[in-house]
């Protein structure tokens, strides 16, 4: 592959292999970076390429640029990400003093701050242990910061750090922090963590999200069995157990002992055996006769069923299971019935899971998306990507489908018939056909918009700081229906105190040109592409190659029951080529 880097009026050509650099090329890349002649827009890419195979001394130079406030912000952020990749995949870190991370941990920019906390964890910078402890007990610290601080304290805090984690796991802390502390405790005392988990779950309410706690046990060798033993002492409240079981199934886990004890506490029957072929044909006939696809789409979209966590429709949704947009046009109904009731029956090769046990006791389950001599990259049912060094793998084997059989126990018989009917109609001519006009299917809803966005029309700086520059976990993914309509009433019902809905989506432009936006939305909706404001319902703009963000601000009223629908087309005479970004 040939990369051309513009330097003044001349082109410097570097020949870079797809799998890495030779040492001479590393040296050339370092000279290029140190020259100060790399255009600012190219710096992030140069830094990323260098870090792929750079040694400790070169990484130290990159780290020094991260600490340099005069180095462009985008390049500093990319450097942090590349340094983290080097630590995870190659176990390489800078050769010099790492205490400068303390300044970045206190940075105002959320990406710099969270990236620095991750580096401190990966590099085990012990001098930051006290800082992490202070973050954990700071009532003003956001949840995402406390989560990163727990991980950091676990890595660098020593015995004092472990004592702090154990205290947080068993004391009268807010339940969300307590769950996180118990998750950290699993790393060094699984038995104590299981007892703490049982006590915390006994006082939890169905509204409390126990996912972080459960994920920790499910990702540890012997974790599910140890938690099961603790839960046998006293059953959980019915709906707390049901929520835990629902999360377990939705994330691709079906460990029998834990599933059985949670099912018993939740008052749910044990899993029934998968149907025979004759039984599947009878159910398929009932689906055709009694199933309702419109009701089935509502079941498919339900959070407790979690279909969209693994499967995408029109490219929106998870990507660890097959894309379903055309499945009904190519699969008979009995096959669909069997696939839902017995997911392990026929797993496509691309979706065969791997179970990886690591030397430090972790248990990873997911789809392998990348593998080389140094690392394995695996994606789980939460679409969370984990990089594991080959040297850290103790054992590896094929697993089952990420879709557990027990998911359907949360459905009535009629709901199952409706769900199967909906899936069987996907891709067929009619209301569930594959669309030819690009429509935004996946939106990101800003979870907690600040007053600058809710009280008045935001200005350019407010958009940059409070929307465009926010980390991904500030947003919640919401999905339009198959034909592109996002029911705003669903969003309002979940958070009735919202004053506005701040939604964003992304467009990848492959060939530049003018693109037309058609926005069907409630009155007084405002729209921006990047920080340029436009007036719905129709507008067009010239877009360069690259990724662009569409932002909508929709005032919430008592009558906000409208749908949102945005379609994109080439403007007349335009040669623009683009794709709407989907995924989870």
pLDDT score at 1: 34
- Closest listed residue to residue 39, CA positions, set 68, 74, 15, 69: 74
The dihedral sign for the CA sequence 91, 97, 102, 107 = negative
Cα(75)–Cα(334) distance, integer angstroms: 53
Cα(341)–Cα(192) distance, integer angstroms: 37
Assess whether pLDDT exceeds 80 at residue 206. yes
pLDDT score at 353: 81
Of 21-35, 51-65, 312-326, 432-446, minimum mean pLDDT range:
21-35
- Closest listed residue to residue 115, CA positions, set 471, 437, 444: 471
**Run of H or E including 547:** strand 546-555
With bands split at pLDDT 50, 70 and 90, how would you rate the model's confidence at 515?
Answer: very high
DSSP string, 263-285: HHHHT-PPPPPPPPHHHHHHHHH
pLDDT score at 271: 65
Cα(524)–Cα(522) distance, integer angstroms: 7
For the stretch 548-571, pLDDT in tens is 999 999 998 766 568 899 999 999
**Run of H or E including 7:** strand 2-7
For the stretch 395-423, pLDDT in tens is 888 777 767 666 777 888 999 999 999 99
pLDDT score at 160: 79
Pairing of strands 10-15, 312-313: unpaired
The dihedral sign for the CA sequence 480, 486, 491, 493 = negative
With bands split at pLDDT 50, 70 and 90, how would you rate the model's confidence at 4?
Answer: very low
With bands split at pLDDT 50, 70 and 90, how would you rate the model's confidence at 15?
Answer: very low
> Which pair of tokens denotes residue 247?
């999360």
Cα(409)–Cα(506) distance, integer angstroms: 36
Cα(548)–Cα(541) distance, integer angstroms: 11
Cα(402)–Cα(76) distance, integer angstroms: 37
Of 92-101, 193-202, 533-542, minimum mean pLDDT range:
92-101
Name the more confident of 349 and 491: 491
User: What is this structure's pTM?
Assistant: 0.69
Write the DSSP symbol of residue 325.
Answer: T
Q: Can you name the residues that pair with 533 across neighbouring β-strands?
A: 528
For the stretch 47-56, pLDDT in tens is 888 888 889 9
Name the more confident of 138 and 457: 457
> Which pair of tokens denotes residue 455?
């009280």
For the stretch 259-288, pLDDT in tens is 889 999 988 876 667 788 898 899 999 999
Q: Can you name the residues that pair with 317 across neighbouring β-strands?
A: 312
With bands split at pLDDT 50, 70 and 90, how would you rate the model's confidence at 342?
Answer: confident
pLDDT score at 574: 94
With bands split at pLDDT 50, 70 and 90, how would you rate the model's confidence at 2?
Answer: very low
> Which pair of tokens denotes residue 56?
């400790």
Cα(227)–Cα(481) distance, integer angstroms: 38
Please enumerate in sequence order all residues whose Cβ is within 8 A of that of 483, keeping only pairs 6 or more positions apart, or say none: 431, 432, 435, 439
Mean predicted lDDT score pLDDT of the chain: 85
pLDDT score at 13: 34
Q: What is the mean pLDDT of residues 380-389?
A: 82
Assess whether pLDDT exceeds 90 at residue 10. no
Q: What are phi and psi of 532, to 5 degrees?
A: -90, 125
- Closest listed residue to residue 342, CA positions, set 409, 412, 283, 401: 401
For the stretch 351-378, pLDDT in tens is 778 888 888 888 888 888 888 888 888 8
pLDDT score at 21: 39
pLDDT score at 538: 95
Q: Using an 8 Å Cβ cutoff, are 86 and 54 in contact?
A: yes
pLDDT score at 134: 83
pLDDT score at 346: 67
pLDDT score at 17: 36
């Amino acid at each position: 592959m040939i990369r051309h880097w513009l330097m003044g009026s001349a082109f410097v050509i570097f020949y870079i292999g797809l799998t890495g650099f030779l040492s001479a090329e590393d040296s050339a890349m370092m000279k290029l970076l140190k020259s100060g002649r790399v255009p600012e827009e190219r710096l992030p890419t140069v830094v990323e390429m260098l870090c792929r195979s750079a040694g400790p001394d070169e990484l130290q130079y990159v780290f020094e640029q991260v600490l340099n406030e005069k180095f462009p912000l985008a390049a500093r952020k990319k450097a942090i990400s590349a340094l983290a990749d080097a630590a995870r995949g190659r176990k390489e870190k800078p050769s010099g003093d790492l205490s400068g991370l303390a300044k970045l941990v206190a940075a105002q920019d959320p990406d710099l701050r969270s990236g620095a906390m991750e580096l401190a964890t990966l590099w085990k910078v012990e001098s930051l242990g006290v800082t992490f402890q202070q973050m954990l007990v700071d009532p003003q610290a956001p949840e995402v910061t406390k989560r990163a601080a727990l991980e950091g304290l676990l890595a660098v805090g020593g015995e004092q750090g472990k004592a702090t984690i154990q205290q947080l796991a068993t004391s009268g802390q807010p339940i969300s922090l307590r769950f996180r502390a118990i998750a950290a405790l699993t790393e060094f005392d699984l038995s104590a963590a299981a007892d703490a988990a049982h006590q915390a779950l006994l006082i939890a309410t169905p509204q409390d999200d126990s996912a972080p706690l459960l994920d920790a046990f499910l990702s540890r060798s012997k974790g599910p069995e140890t938690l099961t033993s603790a839960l046998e002492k006293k059953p959980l409240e019915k709906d707390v157990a049901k929520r835990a079981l629902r999360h377990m199934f939705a994330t691709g886990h079906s460990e029998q002992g834990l599933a059985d004890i949670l099912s018993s506490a939740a008052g749910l029957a044990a899993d029934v055996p998968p149907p025979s072929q004759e039984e599947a044909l009878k159910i398929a006939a009932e689906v055709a006769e009694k199933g309702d696809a419109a009701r089935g789409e509502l079941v498919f979209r339900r959070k407790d069923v979690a279909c969209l966590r693994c499967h995408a429709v029109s490219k929106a949704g998870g990507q660890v299971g097959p894309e379903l947009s055309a499945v009904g046009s190519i699969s008979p109904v009995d096959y669909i019935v069997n696939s839902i009731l017995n997911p392990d029956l026929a797993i496509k090769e691309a979706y065969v899971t791997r179970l990886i046990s690591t030397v430090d006791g972790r248990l990873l389950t997911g789809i392998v998306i990348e593998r080389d001599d140094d690392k394995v990259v695996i994606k789980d049912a939460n679409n969370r990507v984990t990089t594991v060094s080959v040297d850290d793998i103790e054992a590896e084997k094929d697993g089952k489908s990420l879709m557990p059989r027990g998911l359907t126990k949360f459905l009535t018989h009629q709901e199952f018939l409706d769900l199967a009917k909906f899936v069987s109609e996907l891709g067929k001519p009619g209301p569930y056909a594959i669309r030819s006009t690009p429509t935004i299917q996946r939106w990101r809803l800003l979870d907690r918009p600040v007053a600058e966005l809710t009280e008045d029309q935001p200005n350019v700086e407010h958009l940059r700081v409070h929307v465009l520059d926010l980390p991904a976990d500030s947003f919640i993914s919401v999905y339009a229906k198959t034909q592109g309509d996002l029911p705003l009433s669903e969003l309002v019902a979940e958070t009735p105190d919202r004053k506005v809905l701040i939604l964003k989506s992304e467009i990848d432009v492959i060939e530049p040109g003018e693109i037309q936006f058609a926005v069907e939305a409630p009155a007084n909706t405002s729209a921006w592409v990047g920080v340029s404001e436009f007036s719905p319902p129709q507008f067009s703009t010239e877009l360069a190659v690259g990724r662009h963000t569409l932002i909508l601000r929709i005032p919430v009223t008592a009558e906000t029951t409208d749908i949102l629908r945005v379609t994109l087309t080439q403007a007349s005479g335009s040669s623009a080529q683009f794709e709407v970004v989907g995924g989870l």
